[in-house]
Amino acid sequence: MTWLMYMALGAFAGTLAGLFGVGGGLIIVPVLIISFKLQGIGGDLITHMAVGTSLATIMFTSLSAIHTHHGRKAVDWRLAAMISVGIIVGAWLGGYTADKLSGPLLQRLIGLFAWLMAAQMLFSLAPQGGAQLPGKPMQAAVGGIIGWASGIFGIGGGSLTVPFLTWCSVPMQRAVAVSAVCGFPIALVGALSYVVHGMGHQNLPAEAWGYVYLPALLGISLASVPFARLGAILAHRLSAIALRRAFAIFLILVGAKFLLFPG
């Protein structure tokens, strides 16, 4: 039953990720927190486990996205590599930072981020192009900030990378492709950070590697990739405006729960 539950979560997260064009982390983290709490596993570390597990699942979904964008020759590999230099450092520090935060505080930060993303979707807030890409050191520095934030929130970074690149006048298709590539080092290094910093903590279940819970990782990963493709197909048949509003409402509810009733 546990495996079926996590596969159902993977199918749900993958479908919604494909529908709304966002990384599954915004969906997986809150649902895993609720799931772990209902199962009575993880104790006061359920939030850390949810974020670490979410990052681990994104490793697999990002590989599929990278393959698709590379096949369309949309990836600027030099730009992706330079941003990823900072991302590697930032994602590791994100796991370290989260390890030092209490579960309720981490949930409040996730709730605040969910509200910011909801506002962005409801009001179509997006930076206007006009700036130019900064030099390589600044690209790496921005990558560090993106990796750090993504490591704390358990996301692939697309909601941060794409706006930065479009503000720097990078065409949308290229920005999305670069963001997809950057999602892999965020997920890989972030997940490793959560594994290392979670080792030795009490209250972790036997099936956990640090803060990464293996049954959830395997179940979600098996189902999320194929269902993300289904979601992408459905997205072309449904109203984009209605979808964005629906997901914004979901994020508002998630944010309200974590900001007002953490723990």
- pLDDT band at 22, cuts 50/70/90? low
Mean pLDDT along residues 94-110 = 95
Measured CA to CA, the distance from residue 29 to residue 157 in angstroms comes to 14
For all residues of the chain together, what is the average pLDDT? 88
Is the pLDDT assigned to residue 245 strictly greater than 80? yes
Question: What's residue 1's pLDDT?
Answer: 64
User: Looking at per-residue confidence, does 55 or 239 come out higher?
Assistant: 55
- pLDDT band at 20, cuts 50/70/90? low
Is the pLDDT assigned to residue 144 strictly greater than 90? yes
User: Looking at per-residue confidence, does 245 or 198 come out higher?
Assistant: 198
Measured CA to CA, the distance from residue 115 to residue 249 in angstroms comes to 9
- pLDDT band at 214, cuts 50/70/90? very high
Burial class (CB in 10 A: 0-12, 13-18, 19+), 232: middle
233: which DSSP letter?
H
pTM: 0.90
Measured CA to CA, the distance from residue 132 to residue 53 in angstroms comes to 36
Q: pLDDT tens-digit profile of 177-188?
A: 898 899 999 999
Q: Which residues pair with 209 in a beta bridge?
A: 212
- pLDDT band at 195, cuts 50/70/90? very high
- pLDDT band at 102, cuts 50/70/90? very high
Q: Which residue has the tokens 């990823």?
A: 84
